[in-house]
């Protein structure tokens, strides 16, 4: 049985890994994606994390990971599918049946992109439907794309795509956008961007790949790709019977990252907090490890 299992390799999980390793804990990081760095990989440019001016989220995430790897943090690739108490700790089962036992857990599973819940979305996921312009945008050079959403991520994504696509539709179900008005102005100045308000996506059409979308206002838009930028929800289905959640599904925890379950800590976007950013995720990683160490000492 190891001292600490960290679930998730985003900024919170990688920060926890660095603190745990430097505290000489017998630690392991479990991650759904091989060589993951969390959702920051999808950020076009990160200018608000100290020291990262001008960097892309991909570059920053890689530097986080490199730091943990230099300290020889062990990684396990697999999705945790169940977590149960075991004598002296926790038993985590992974997709495929492998089991890891640890005296403590830091759950840093982050959030998952929200779904549009429309016909065609599931069927065409990865075949024209995406949530990450940085990852998939370059596949649509000189093609037509649509971005759905009204916040900063949607506006930034549309601007990013406007530099490479023949045409970009920005679709928002309300009249007003929540995102930065400077970005919105830049989008308005682009000849290849069409902003559509007061309309939502009704269906995503195509047999093998996306060919068009139908909007609630009746318009049919021929597109090659559709990018969802409508926010995200906490990925807490796995832990809902272990710890207390708030009404939105986030794990209840304060700055010390302790949850309602002994020896089970939480870090990053998946916990209750006001601001979900890299800086707060990284801080949580450090705090969670210090709480785990205090718990381990008290239960030696």
Ligand X SMILES: Cc1cc2nc3c(=O)[nH]c(=O)nc-3n(C[C@H](O)[C@H](O)[C@H](O)COP(=O)(O)OP(=O)(O)OC[C@H]3O[C@@H](n4cnc5c(N)ncnc54)[C@H](O)[C@@H]3O)c2cc1C
Catalytic residues: 132, 135-136
Of 57 and 179, CB closest to ligand X: 57
Does 13 help bind ligand X (rule: CB under 6 A)? yes
Sole residue written with tokens 């989008």: 187
At closest approach, how far in Å is the CB of 227 from ligand X? Answer: 10
At closest approach, how far in Å is the CB of 58 from ligand X? Answer: 11
Does 110 help bind ligand X (rule: CB under 6 A)? yes
Return the bridge partners of 226, or none: 129, 146
List 144, 153, 212, 258, residue binding ligand X (CB under 6 A): 153
Of 171 and 288, CB closest to ligand X: 288
At closest approach, how far in Å is the CB of 142 from ligand X? Answer: 23
How far is Cα 280 from Cα 13, in angstroms, rounded to an integer? 12
Does 11 help bind ligand X (rule: CB under 6 A)? yes
Does 7 help bind ligand X (rule: CB under 6 A)? yes
List 48, 192, 198, 217, residue binding ligand X (CB under 6 A): 48
Sole residue written with tokens 């900063």: 152
Q: How would DSSP label each residue in the chain?
A: -EEEEEE--SHHHHHHHHHHHHTT--EEEEESSTT---GGGG-S-B-SSTT-TTB-HHHHHHHHHHHHHHTT--EEE--EEEEEEETTEEEEEETTS-EEEEEEEEE---EEEPP---TTTTTTBTTTEES-HHHHGGGGTTSEEEEE-SSHHHHHHHHHHHTT-SEEEEE-SSSS--S-HHHHHHHHH-TTEEEE-S--EEEEE-SSS--EEEETTS-EEE-SEEEE-S-EEE--GGGTTTS-B-TTSPBP--TT-B-SSTTEEE-STTBS-S--SHHHHHHHHHHHHHHHHHHHHHT-
List 74, 119, 151, 235, residue binding ligand X (CB under 6 A): 235
Of 12 and 124, CB closest to ligand X: 12
Q: 23-42 mask for ligand X (x: CB under 6 A)? A: -------xxxx--x-xxx-x
Q: 120-139 mask for ligand X (x: CB under 6 A)? A: --------------------
* Interface region with ligand X, contact rule CB under 6 A, candidates 165-173, 209-217, 241-249, 278-286: 278-286
* Interface region with ligand X, contact rule CB under 6 A, candidates 116-124, 240-248, 256-264, 272-280: 272-280
Does 43 help bind ligand X (rule: CB under 6 A)? yes
Residues in contact with ligand X, counted by CB under 6 A, come to a total of 37
Give the residues lining the site for ligand X (CB under 6 A). 7-13, 30-33, 36, 38-40, 42-43, 46, 48-49, 57, 79-80, 108-111, 153, 235, 238, 268-269, 276-279, 281
């Amino acid at each position: 049985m190891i001292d600490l299992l960290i679930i998730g390799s985003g900024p919170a999980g990688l920060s926890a890994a660095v603190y745990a390793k430097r505290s000489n804990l017998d630690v392991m990081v479990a991650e759904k994606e091989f060589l993951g760095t969390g959702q920051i990989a999808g950020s076009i440019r990160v200018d608000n994390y100290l020291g990262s001016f001008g960097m892309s989220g991909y570059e920053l995430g890689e530097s986080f990971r490199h730091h943990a790897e230099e300290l020889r943090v062990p990684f396990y690739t697999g999705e945790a599918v169940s977590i149960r108490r075991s004598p002296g700790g926790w038993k985590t089962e992974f997709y495929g049946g492998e089991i890891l036992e640890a005296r403590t857990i830091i759950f840093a599973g982050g959030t998952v992109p929200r779904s549009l819940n429309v016909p065609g979305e599931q069927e065409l996921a990865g075949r024209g439907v995406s949530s990450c312009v940085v990852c998939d945008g370059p596949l649509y050079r000189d093609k037509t794309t649509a971005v759905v959403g009204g916040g900063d991520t949607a506006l930034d994504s549309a601007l990013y795509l406007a530099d490479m696509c023949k045409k970009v539709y920005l679709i928002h179900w309300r009249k007003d956008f929540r995102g930065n008005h400077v970005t919105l102005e830049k989008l308005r100045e682009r000849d290849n961007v069409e902003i559509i308000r007061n309309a939502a996506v009704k269906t995503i059409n195509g047999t093998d790949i996306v060919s068009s979308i139908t909007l609630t206002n009746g318009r049919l838009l021929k597109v090659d790709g559709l990018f969802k930028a409508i926010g995200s929800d906490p990925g807490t289905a796995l832990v809902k019977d272990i710890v207390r959640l708030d009404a939105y599904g986030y794990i209840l925890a304060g700055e010390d990252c302790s949850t309602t379950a002994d020896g089970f800590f939480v870090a990053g976007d998946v916990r209750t907090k006001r601001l979900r950013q890299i800086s707060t995720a990284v801080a949580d990683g450090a705090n969670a490890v210090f709480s785990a160490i205090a718990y381990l000492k008290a239960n030696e």
